[in-house]
Structure 1
Amino acid sequence: MNQLNSKNFNNATSTNLDKRLGSLDLFDQAAPLVSIGAWSCDLANERLDWTDGVFDIFGLTSVDALDRESAIELYSEESRELLERKRSQAIEKRAGFTLDASIVRPDGIERWIRITAATRGSNGRTEMLFGMKQDITDDRMRWELLRAQAECDPLTGVANRTRFQRFLDQSSNGVALDDIGTLILFDIDDFKQINDRWGHAAGDACLVNLADNLRKAFINAHLVSRIGGDEFAVLLPSSISRAQTKVELQSLIGSLLRPIQWNGCLLTLKVSVGFAFACKDGKYNPQTLFNTADEALYCAKNRKIFPSD
């Protein structure tokens, strides 16, 4: 009876081993279909182990010398900083993480990868990180295209209110706020009268004309956005000085006041402007900046003059 049980155990063990080997073989065959591979890092010596799938994603071959210091240099600066932070937290807490990161391969091709990581260790100490890396570049491009379409004003081609709202919703210490210098708001005066007299097609022509002028005038802007029916916002970088901003605005107003040709008619366009300067240290609230610019715009519309501050 014991001999029979031993034989059955050996057969079962052999069968399970065959299944595992078969599963590994199946993974090796399927991995190239989705640009995915496995990786591990021994924390004792920072030794990396990659499957062929990961080498392919990074544009390397298995004969290339592989060390973590060289591999981490292939990540973009932002992704590298985020990876190191998540990695440190995972090691400390013995927990896994997921991260979408951008890399630049040695051949100059940029790719997006999704990293999933888990930890292994003993006696309360993390000894190894391991997981999967998958190329998600195509998915990322499709997502970016969908987001761009969702955040684009279909009439004028500039960004819509949804995109501008992402700026307003940032926290006061958001990284993206450091390079904001000026917020400028533009509003077409008596826009309703244009629609009433000439029709909505004429009003649309005015909106398209204004959007085109703003894009051409502020080619270095972080954002040109239509945030309301006849209201536009422009976000300028901090590299453009306050004096330069005022000069460019004064010059732009002249071009905006030129009549617009539409169906053989000349449409007179009047635009009011309000703006606010961000703190030079980047410590400000986006909503407060918007409120300040909006108040300046309100004063300009009532006074019918170009704001001086």
Structure 2
Amino acid sequence: MRHQYPLPLHHSWPLFERARHFDLGWVERAGVRPPALPPAAADADALERAGIGTWECDLADDSLTWSPTVHDLFGLPRGAPVARADAVARYGEGSRAAMERLRAHAIAHRRGFTLDVEIWSAPARSDWVRLIAAPICVGDQVVGLHGLKCRIPG
């Protein structure tokens, strides 16, 4: 039986609210405090121990950089290169459409977003994952996106 996450979270938010929304990645992880972002090496280790992965997408070529936890969430070998198209194909259809809309909005309007998505880590297994994203800006131009991903307990 497939788990249905009943109340998905999805919304766009301005960059000045970044710290507040990145804290959403720490929901239900008692005893672990959120690090100051962007994470330093020690903070990245704390994220990994808490089951929270970090990711980045360079918009120049859509290349992805994932922490080991994100590879685990997608059911892929740690450290394996991943094409964005292959990663996006693992999203459930409704989740993929919502993520692409919010991603385009984030890039066009320099806004972050939070979205609960269904990820198929294996042909017969899906999990709900909280995706938190914020644009990386150079001047007024968005050059990338980065954020957190964590499995939603349930």
Number of equivalent positions: 116
Match of 2:148 among 132, 136, 146: 132
Deviations 1:128-185 (A, max 9, x none): 100111111x2xx3xxxxxxxxxxxxxxxxxxxxxxxxxxxxxxxxxxxxxxxxxxxx
Question: 1:36-75, CA deviations, whole angstroms, 9 ceiling, x for partnerless residues?
Answer: 1100000010000001111111111134330100000000
Question: Is the aligned partner of 1:103 residue 2:119?
Answer: yes
User: Offset of 1:108 from its aligned partner?
Assistant: 3.0
Higher RCO (CA < 8 A, seq sep 6+): 2
The answer for the alignment partner of 2:77 in structure 1 is 61
Q: Is there any run of 5+ residues in structure 2 with no aligned partner, and where?
A: 1-39
TM-score for both structures, normalised by structure 1: 0.36
What is the rounded CA distance, in whole Å, between the counterparts of 1:94 and 1:119 in structure 2?
Answer: 6
- Tell me which amino acid in the other structure corresponds to 1:115: L
Change (3 A) 1:31 1:120: closer
User: 1:26 deviation in Å?
Assistant: 4.6
SS at match of 2:111: coil
Aligned to 1:89: 105
Q: Distance in 2 between matches of 1:54 and 1:67?
A: 14
The structure that is strand-richer by fraction is: 2
Give a deviation string over 1:203-224, Cα, whole Å, max 9, x none.
xxxxxxxxxxxxxxxxxxxxxx
1:121 alignment partner in structure 2: 137
Q: Is the 8 A contact 1:34 1:135 kept in 2?
A: no
The percent of aligned pairs where both chains have the same amino acid is: 37
C-alpha contact 1:74 1:105 (8 A) present in aligned 2: yes
Structure number, greater radius of gyration: 1
TM-score by length of 2: 0.69
Backbone CA RMSD of aligned residues: 1.8
* Alpha-carbon separation, structure 2, partners of 1:27 and 1:65: 20
Distance 1:85 1:98 in 2: 12
Structure 2 CA distance, aligned partners of 1:26 and 1:71?
Answer: 25
